[in-house]
A and B are shown apart, each in its own frame.
Chain A
Amino acid sequence: MLRVQNLSKSFDGTVALDGFSAEVREREVVGLVGPNGAGKTTLFNVVTGFLRPDGGDVTYKGEGLTSKPPYRVARRGVARTFQELRLIYRMTVLENVLLAFPAQAGESATGAFVRWREVSRRQRRNREEALALLDYVGLAEKAGELADELSYGQQKLVSLACCLATGGELLLLDEPVAGVAPGMVDKILGLITDLRGRGKTVVFIEHNFAAVTEVCDRVIFMDEGRLVAEGTPADIRDNPDVIESYLN
């Protein structure tokens, strides 16, 4: 589904990605692990078009995504969350999710005037879908609250609901459970597992190896911008290179 080949990226001499290649298959839940500075977030940023790679290719469903602007990548069906959680904090939870729906007729300036009937029908349908998504992530009763007023864990759930609303099939989640209360961790991990049933493919960055073991089909371990090992969670846990990498 997603294939990255030979990606390289450096910032002022610091190598973040060094010939990184990997593949993600449909309906997989893949954990991307590695020490700080291993290049995990850089990889997400390159795949989603927020950073231009110095070299290499990104292919999604057979189409090249390399250096496409972020909005095009998102429209192709690659949704993402951010490590430093991003939401529109001064909008309600519902509005955040509504914002995420793709190709809304009412988003053209003329859409605000002509085809009003179609636009409002579409808005009603989006609203229903948004409420259903919020219900799915367990935030139905928070729909009318400002995103700012939610707990950190709840905000992470909102950003997940936004990803789902984009209709993207590949979700790149950057540390979805970091800094979240323990009860919420289980809830978010439960959702990630469940997403596969909804036809989604998930790649997520995580430091907590227990969380990764719990939900991942496959783990990709990277360090210094390179793929060090990949395999089942158990394989990775016992891999000598991985152990050494973490010990260093």
Chain B
Amino acid sequence: MGYLLHILILIGIYVILAESLNLIAGYAGLLSIAHAAFYGVGAYVAALLALNYAVPPWLTVPAAVVAAAAVGALVAWPALRVRDDYFVVATFAFQVIVFSVMNNWVALTGGPLGLPGIPRPDFFGLTVKSHGGFLLLTWLFAAAVAFVCWRLARAPFGRVLRALREDEVFAAALGKNVASFKVRVFAIGAAMAAVGGCLYAYYITFIDPTSFTVMESIFIISIVIVGGAGSLRGAALGAAVLVILPEALRFVGLPSSVAANLRQIFYGLMLILFMVFRPQGLIGEFSFRRR
């Protein structure tokens, strides 16, 4: 039962990460490999505040959100000057930088040893510690993030994002401040990824840099692509599929060392197959593959 709930909690966290990346990559067409970095910024900010200053969660989460949004805007600014492939490389570079900071600034982040013993979140005397409690908490936040994404996507704001994805020049000719929209969507997406980071830190009670690597960013991108870029339901569906399917590998009786490698191969294979045969994903409207 605990295992099942654990899977459901992970799905909730990945729904948050996928929905927020979907806004950046699926709607605005900005393929970012930095999402795990924002996820990590959220986790570290919340963990450090909780560990070092005993800040309660109703303050650590907003702090993590603001920090990630600021970092997101900061990354978007230089990255905006380059386009398409170069943008991907620029976000990749940022991802590597964030990982290096987490891994090497030992005094602050604990380096490779990470930050153990993150206290259970306490909401005004109510401490969340059971799997059931975390499931509720995670899914509440996932629902909130999904609602925010849905509202943004449906609003005229979302229409401009979709226009940027298709033709920036046309959008600019119609008076849209392209750079400003990109910075905003990047900051908003980063902020929501930070929420996922907070939940992860509080749930596992231990974080280290290996949870926020490039591989993790690629995993989140896989969710968006498999689910369907530009579709909110697609991102949620993708999160469920990509979290659940590899778990099935555990039950075929392979030794865990093999299973772990097999999992990476499985993700890679899935990504390739989708790119080739179903670039729009399970229920997406848009593909990264050029027409």
| A contact set with B: CB distance below 8 Å | 48, 50, 69-71, 74-75, 79-80, 82, 86-91, 95, 98-100, 102, 104-109, 111-113, 119, 123, 162, 166
* Chain B residues closer than 8 Å to A80, beta-carbon distance: 173
Question: Judging by beta carbons under 8 Å apart, are A162 and B152 in contact?
Answer: no
Task: Say yes or no: B156 contacts A88, CB within 8 Å.
Answer: no
Q: Determine if B167 and A88 form an interchain contact, defined as CB atoms under 8 angstroms apart.
A: yes
Task: Give the shortest distance, in Å, between B27 (CB) and chain A (any CB).
Answer: 12
B residues within 8 A CB of A108?
Answer: 157
- Picked from B154, B163, B286, the residue with its CB within 8 Å of the CB of A99 is B163
Q: Which 8 A-B pairs have the closest CB atoms?
A: A74-B175, A106-B156, A112-B155, A86-B170, A70-B172, A75-B175, A106-B155, A107-B156
CB-defined contacts of A102 to chain B, threshold 8 Å: 175
Give the nearest-CB partner of B180 in chain A. Answer: A71
Name A109's contact: one of B152, B163, B167, B177 (CB within 8 Å): B152
Interface SS, B side: helix
CA separation between A102 and B178, bound complex, in Å? 14
Provide a sorted-by-A list of 27 A–B residue pairs whose CB atoms are within 8 angstroms: A50-B173, A70-B172, A70-B173, A71-B172, A71-B177, A79-B174, A86-B170, A87-B170, A88-B163, A89-B166, A90-B162, A90-B166, A90-B285, A91-B162, A91-B163, A98-B156, A99-B163, A99-B176, A100-B174, A104-B156, A106-B156, A107-B160, A108-B157, A109-B157, A123-B156, A162-B174, A166-B175
Residues of chain A with a CB closer than 8 A to B188's CB = 109
- The reply to whether the CB of B49 lies closer than 8 angstroms to some CB of chain A is no
How far, in whole Å, are A109 and B155 apart by their CA atoms in the complex? 9
Interface residues on B, range: 20 to 34
Within 8 A of A (CB), among B142-174: 148, 151-152, 154-160, 162-163, 166-167, 169-174
CB proximity of A172 to chain B, nearest CB, Å: 10
Please measure, in the bound complex, the distance between the C-alpha atom of A80 and the C-alpha atom of B175, giving whole angstroms: 11
Distance from A215 Cβ to chain B, minimum over Cβ atoms (Å): 23
If A88-B170, A99-B171 touch, whether A111 touches B157 (CB-CB below 8 Å) is yes
Q: How far is the CB of B214 from chain A (nearest CB, A)?
A: 28
Tell me whether B184 is interfacial, beta carbon within 8 Å: yes
**Chain B residues in 8 Å Cβ range of A89:** 166
Evaluate contact between B169 and A50: CB separation under 8 angstroms.
yes
Task: Tell me the complex Cα distance, A98–B157, Å.
Answer: 12
- Cβ proximity bits B198-211 to A, threshold 8 Å, 1 near / 0 not: 00000000000000
CA distance A69 to B176 in the complex (A): 10
Closest to A102 in B: B175
Q: Check B173–A48 contact: CB distance below 8 A.
A: yes
- Is B157 in contact with A106, judged by CB distance below 8 angstroms? yes
The interface centre, meaning the residue of A48, A80, A106, A108 with most chain B CB atoms within 10 A of its CB, is: A106
A49: nearest chain-B partner, CB-CB: B172
A36: shortest Cβ distance to chain B, in Å? Answer: 22
Contact status A86-B169, CB under 8 Å: yes
Q: Do A113 and B151 touch across chains, with their CB atoms under 8 A apart?
A: yes
Known: A48-B173, A106-B155, A112-B154. 9 other contacts (CB 8 A): A74-B175, A89-B166, A102-B175, A109-B157, A109-B188, A111-B156, A112-B155, A119-B155, A166-B175
Identify which of A90, A95, A123 gathers the most chain B CB atoms within 10 Å of its CB. Answer: A90
Q: Which of B158, B169, B175, B185 has the most A CB atoms < 10 Å from its CB? A: B175
A38–B158 Cα gap in the complex (Å)?
A: 40
Chain B's closest residue to A107 (CB) is B156
B192 CB, min distance to chain A CBs, angstroms:
12
What residues of B have a CB within 8 angstroms of the CB of A123 in the complex?
156
B162 to chain A, nearest CB (A): 7
A25 to B112, CA, bound (A): 69
In the complex the two chains form, what is the Cα distance from A90 to B161 in whole Å?
13
Known: A86-B170, A98-B156, A111-B157. A71 touches B178 (CB 8 A): yes
Name which residue of chain A comes closest to B164, CB basis.
A88
Q: Mark B258-291, 1 if CB is under 8 A from A, else 0.
A: 0000000000000000000000000001100000
Nearest CB of B to A120, in Å:
10
Of the listed residues A69, A91, A109, A166, the one surrounded by the most CB atoms of chain B closer than 10 A to its CB is A109
Q: Which among B154, B166, B167, B170 has the greatest number of chain A C-beta atoms within 10 A?
A: B170
Point out the residues of chain B lying under 8 angstroms from A107, CB to CB: 155-157, 160, 176
Chain A residues within 8 Å of B172, by CB: 50, 69-71, 74
From residue B35, how far is it (CB to closest CB) to chain A in Å? Answer: 18
Closest residue of A by beta carbon distance from B160: A107
Contacts of B286 in A (CB 8 A): 90
Question: Which chain A positions have C-beta within 8 A of B184?
Answer: 109
A112 x B151 contact (CB < 8 A):
yes
Contacts of A91 in B (CB 8 A): 159, 162-163, 166
Q: Which residues of A contact B163 (CB under 8 A)?
A: 88, 91, 99
